[in-house]
Structure 1
Amino acid sequence: MRGTVNTQPRAGLRRVVEDLGTTLLDLVCGDPDTAGNIGGVVIHDPLDEPVLPRQALVLGIGVRGPDDTVRLLTALGDAGAAALVVRAPAPADPAVITAARKSGVALLALTRGASWAQLAALLRSLLADGDVGEAGPQTLGGTPSGDLFALANAVAALLDAPVTIEDRSSRVLAFSGRQDEADPSRVETVLGRQVPERFTRLLEDQGVFRSLYRSDQPVHVAPPETDGFHIPRAAIAVRAGDEVLGTIWAAVRSPLTPQRGQALHDAAKLVALHLLRLRAGADVERRLRADLVSTVLEGGPGAPEALSRLGLTGSAGVVLALAVPDPPGLADSPDLHAQHTAERQRLADAFALHLSATHPRAAAALIGDVAYGILPLPPRQPDAEERAARTGTDFLTRIGDRLSPLIGIGTTARDGGALPRSRDGADRALRVLRSHPGPRRLATVADVHVEALLLDLADLSAERGDPTAGPLARLLAYDRQHDSHLVDTLRAWLNAFGDVPAAAETMYVHQNTFRYRLRRATEVARADLGDPDVRFALMLQLRLLRN
């Protein structure tokens, strides 16, 4: 039996490992970067050896033991295959590792509990459209791929009960009909597309989620003692291997019969497949858009084609750069880092949605740790940057202060070729906001032009290794040696434009004490503070010292 799919090269093995490695596949040995584009996906059949395309990804269904694995790796190496996937755990035998290295075929392991059908469906999303099976609309289990609402209705028909499909955070992804037959808590959940927090706390206190995540069988949930929740539930975790993707909840009057329990168990596998397809498809779409936006903002020979694919040819535009400050302790906490990464992606998605609502042809993508948005505007728009600032301000107002995001806005690009310069301006404005924490959360590059120049000058000085010199260097050395505050005194005086009472107040000292310190600073620095050039030089040095 042959199962060749996706005969057109679409993606490399590195892409497959990165996208599926957290869910379904583990890299046992081999270097994904040495393989070229995947030329096809083939199901191995020892009774009818298929003809392999170059750089094939072979699904070793039923391949067990080190001897079988070694023989297949050797044969695949001669045929020019890219990788072999076997069921986990892969044979832990030195001969297997040696065969993989000699053949140049990477060895991957499909996690236990995941189905080969799930893997094939995800490879379909990653490698090509319509790569597995027939052309036309794709279906999974007879339901249109990704249509969770149709699937919820199908499960409801099997169980004769209203059903919801929820993610790990109890957000409602889809629901069936007949919700009016359930209790008020279900109606409130469907209307809000989220299980109310008071109900999730009750379920957590009862250990319901713990039971769900520990079992692959349906769990009967008795209604907690609270108003609005009086119909029992049958629930099951939706899994892909060891990963819990979500849950299915059915409002039932009595415990499920064994037949209906098995139906819910089987339905959970199909729901997992749909959720994985949706996630993979969203990841592919997000990555493609990020590549196009990145190409446009970097400029170069590929930019015109990327502009055309984004629908931005012939438009003026302004680049907005959004970033989230790193929380304290991020580097020392892997859990906090993962949570922060997920929140940053969700914020970037919300930013893209907001820009699209503002202008249908707006493009946005997360590139590194910054979400860039391109806001297209009519040519010769006189207030382009002001409009972009209003758009950014509206977004910050909507999302609130929890993550404290910052937005930098670049200059107006009169055409697509000038977008890299607008992006540079947005980056510079964003850097100023990051370097000077405070209540200000949005700035155009024109607003912070001087601060951006000072940061550029500080970079240049640091790159050349220029030491602090002249009067300020003498003051710094004196302060270090005598634990005095002459530099702070000079800074306060300069900031107060020579107003001694105001400067003394900022230092919380008496005016006479301040005058003494200022005279001492003048003597140590050997500087004439009456000379405007000297004052300017000292002010500039102090600003660079602070940056």
Structure 2
Amino acid sequence: MVDGHGTRLDSILSHLGGTLLEEVAGRVHPTAVFTDVVIDDRRDDEPLRPGAVLLCAGADERDVPELVERAAVNRAAAVVVRGPVVLDAETRTAVENSGVALLALTRGATWAQLVVLLRSLLTTSVGGEGTEELLAGFPAEDSFALANAIGALLGAPITIEDQDSQVLAFSGGQDEADQTRIQTILGRGVPQHARHAQERAGVFKRLDTSEEPIFIDTPLIEGVAGLSRVAVAVRADDQVLGSIRVAVAEPLSPDKERILSDAAKVVALHLLRHRVGADVDQQVRADLVATALAAGPAAPEAIERLRLARRQVAVMGMAIPGTGGTANAPKSRQVLKRTSDALAFHLSVVAPGSVAALAGDVCYAVIPGPAAAGGSGGLPEKAQRVAEDLLRRSQDGLGGAVLGVGRVVDSAHPADLARSRHDADRTLRVLQHHPGCRVARFSDVQVEALLLEIGDVLDNEGGLLAGPIERLRSYDRENGTFPLDTLSAWLDGQGNVLSASASLDVHPNTFRYRLRRAAEIAEMDLNDAEARFAAMLELRLGRAAPP
């Protein structure tokens, strides 16, 4: 237990537990206070501040006894090492008796992210209880309070926008601006026509390259009545995070430009805090989803942390044809990230409890149904409706995405969950070979998936050896005739000469002659059911092969 300024350690774990940090051993005392973040350097003999959290990036299980002893001597609150951590009985007992909590940094999170979030969670109150986290004097979660403060200092309505011109916060007094600003506030983003006009006028390029506020003659650029804007980029080092936009009748005075420039630095702290928190959550969530779907030894724990244990679930995969290559990797990744975010948001509304994450070129979602003891409860149909509704609402804003739904499984069996993911992958492959169809369940395309996989096996074996179909194909190439078309039409017509001849627009007698000739060339007995099936399968495999 430590007295002093800081925040309670159990409060930190409630914020970051399950996403960045895991409790490994030792008891977190209800009154233990976290006061400082220290990066371990064994060459440094400086004592730790009481209540410090010691981050040991280069340590493993073998270093735990020494690290915990050092922390206990200095009355530090906790030691953090990279997870997973497996302790022997002797070491675990030593940690339990030390009064120090041993924590693990979860997979998918970085030490830099942990440092930023730990330091942002430190407050100036005793015990950290009943207070809000402050950044530059403003509540970290209240960007609108910050926007109002900036607007009051400038005497004009402002918006805080991200790089995509989406409104993150705005001040009061927007009714004093113009119609474009009102549309921006109502739509939580700059209207497309206004953004395109600014792009053509080079506004975003000026903003990205200028360290000072810039004046934007909005009425002239956009061709509509209204106020001009003064804007300044919000930066973290060389990275542009967004901008502050001020609606003005005339350029700002030098004093107010300085106020705006200073305000951009404060806004950068808020945007960084939100961005780091969101990035950490997404990275950890993606790692958990990937782990859960991999059926490895860590899968049960990942399933538990995702709150999917003991549930009926189905895995949905979403992919965008053409984004798997490296020719335009950054743009492809951006498109995949946008569609993944769209799917995650859609699921949060229509299928609460679902989890989604981008893994490679596919966004996977695990959609829960009723408890494992019950049936599927219409889960496959529900998942398909969710996918179709997403495409309908997006109005093709998802770049031609296709969605495949795997079988319903019990999440208590990780191998079954991995099978559902495999189903989703196989369904996506079928959909990418059938333009026009964008949503399917594996049960509806299983045969097509099997045909593609048989084709893969044949390719690995060098293709089919010379048989009836290959003999006809070779004869066609050498003689410029089409006996293969005749046999194919007859097989497709299930032996009905009239329908088969009509499909080729030839007389039935002519068709019969060509069919007999095709059978001779192929060395095939048309009365042999096994031979007919083999020929139909080979023809079907040829049609299923990628172009």
Asked whether the 8 Å contact 1:126–1:280 carries over to 2, the reply is no
Structure 2 match to 1:522: 519
Task: Quote the Cα distance in structure 1 between the aligned partners of 2:512 and 2:139.
Answer: 81
Structure 2 match to 1:237: 233
Structure 1 match to 2:24: none
Task: Quote the Cα distance in structure 2 between the aligned partners of 1:510 and 1:126.
Answer: 78
Q: Does 1:247 align with 2:243?
A: yes
Structure 2 match to 1:196: 191
Pick from 452, 457, 460 the counterpart of residue 455 of structure 1. Answer: 452
Pairwise CA distance, 1:144: 3.1
Structure 2 match to 1:401: 396
Q: TM-score, normalised by structure 2?
A: 0.72
Pick from 149, 162, 183 the counterpart of residue 157 of structure 2. Answer: 162
Task: Quote the Cα distance in structure 2 between the aligned partners of 1:256 and 1:188.
Answer: 24
Task: Quote the Cα distance in structure 1 between the aligned partners of 2:55 and 2:169.
Answer: 40
Q: Does 1:370 align with 2:368?
A: no
Task: Quote the Cα distance in structure 2 between the aligned partners of 1:235 and 1:124.
Answer: 31
**CA separation of 1:132/1:268 partners in 2, compared to 1, >3 Å: closer, same or farther?**
closer
Pairwise CA distance, 1:333: 4.2
CA deviation vs aligned residue, 1:488-543 (integer Å, no higher than 9, x gap) = 33223322223445445544666666555433322211111222211110011112
Gaps of 5+ in 1: 1-7, 9-14, 16-38, 57-121
Pairwise CA distance, 1:462: 3.0
Pairwise CA distance, 1:285: 0.6
Pairwise CA distance, 1:233: 1.4
Pairwise CA distance, 1:191: 0.6
Task: Quote the Cα distance in structure 1 between the aligned partners of 2:305 and 2:233.
Answer: 40
Structure 2 match to 1:309: 305
Determine helix, strand or coil for the equivalent of 1:366.
Answer: strand
Structure 2 match to 1:387: 382
With 182-191 and 518-527 compared, the bigger mean Cα shift is at 518-527
With 296-305 and 235-244 compared, the bigger mean Cα shift is at 235-244
Determine helix, strand or coil for the equivalent of 2:405.
Answer: strand
Determine helix, strand or coil for the equivalent of 2:494.
Answer: coil
**CA separation of 1:200/1:50 partners in 2, compared to 1, >3 Å: closer, same or farther?**
farther
Q: How many residues align?
A: 442
Structure 2 match to 1:532: 529
Pick from 402, 406, 419 the counterpart of residue 417 of structure 2. Answer: 419
Gaps of 5+ in 2: 1-11, 13-19, 21-36, 49-53, 59-109
Task: Quote the Cα distance in structure 2 between the aligned partners of 1:300 and 1:130.
Answer: 31
Q: Does 1:324 align with 2:316?
A: no
Pick from 486, 500, 503 the counterpart of residue 489 of structure 1. Answer: 486
Structure 2 match to 1:471: 468
CA deviation vs aligned residue, 1:212-247 (integer Å, no higher than 9, x gap) = 233111112224246764222111122334333322
Asked whether the 8 Å contact 2:409–2:420 carries over to 1, the reply is yes
Task: Quote the Cα distance in structure 1 between the aligned partners of 2:212 and 2:320.
Answer: 41
CA deviation vs aligned residue, 1:278-306 (integer Å, no higher than 9, x gap) = 22222211111111111221223222211
Pick from 439, 442, 445 the counterpart of residue 439 of structure 2. Answer: 442
**CA separation of 1:454/1:340 partners in 2, compared to 1, >3 Å: closer, same or farther?**
same
Pick from 263, 266, 276 the counterpart of residue 267 of structure 1. Answer: 263
Asked whether the 8 Å contact 2:217–2:228 carries over to 1, the reply is yes
Pick from 175, 179, 185 the counterpart of residue 184 of structure 1. Answer: 179
With 491-500 and 447-456 compared, the bigger mean Cα shift is at 491-500
Structure 2 match to 1:143: 138
**CA separation of 1:358/1:261 partners in 2, compared to 1, >3 Å: closer, same or farther?**
same
Task: Quote the Cα distance in structure 2 between the aligned partners of 1:450 and 1:161.
Answer: 64
Pick from 356, 370, 373 the counterpart of residue 348 of structure 2. Answer: 356
Pairwise CA distance, 1:160: 1.6
**CA separation of 1:50/1:244 partners in 2, compared to 1, >3 Å: closer, same or farther?**
farther
Pairwise CA distance, 1:50: 9.8
- Tell me the amino acid that sits aligned with residue 423 of structure 1: R
Task: Quote the Cα distance in structure 2 between the aligned partners of 1:509 and 1:171.
Answer: 63
Asked whether the 8 Å contact 1:130–1:138 carries over to 2, the reply is no
Determine helix, strand or coil for the equivalent of 2:313.
Answer: strand
Asked whether the 8 Å contact 1:296–1:416 carries over to 2, the reply is no
Task: Quote the Cα distance in structure 2 between the aligned partners of 1:132 and 1:197.
Answer: 35
**CA separation of 1:507/1:438 partners in 2, compared to 1, >3 Å: closer, same or farther?**
farther
Task: Quote the Cα distance in structure 1 between the aligned partners of 2:182 and 2:173.
Answer: 10
- Tell me the amino acid that sits aligned with residue 205 of structure 2: R
Determine helix, strand or coil for the equivalent of 1:217.
Answer: coil
Structure 2 match to 1:109: none
**CA separation of 1:230/1:542 partners in 2, compared to 1, >3 Å: closer, same or farther?**
same
Pick from 118, 128, 131 the counterpart of residue 130 of structure 1. Answer: 118
Determine helix, strand or coil for the equivalent of 1:311.
Answer: coil
- Tell me the amino acid that sits aligned with residue 521 of structure 2: V
| Matched ranges for 1:213-232 at <5 A | 213-225=208-220, 229-232=225-228
**CA separation of 1:229/1:241 partners in 2, compared to 1, >3 Å: closer, same or farther?**
farther
Determine helix, strand or coil for the equivalent of 2:357.
Answer: strand
Q: Does 1:339 align with 2:331?
A: yes
Task: Quote the Cα distance in structure 2 between the aligned partners of 1:320 and 1:207.
Answer: 41
**CA separation of 1:180/1:228 partners in 2, compared to 1, >3 Å: closer, same or farther?**
farther
Asked whether the 8 Å contact 2:166–2:188 carries over to 1, the reply is yes
Pairwise CA distance, 1:251: 1.0
Asked whether the 8 Å contact 1:138–1:144 carries over to 2, the reply is yes
Pairwise CA distance, 1:449: 2.0
**CA separation of 1:481/1:212 partners in 2, compared to 1, >3 Å: closer, same or farther?**
same
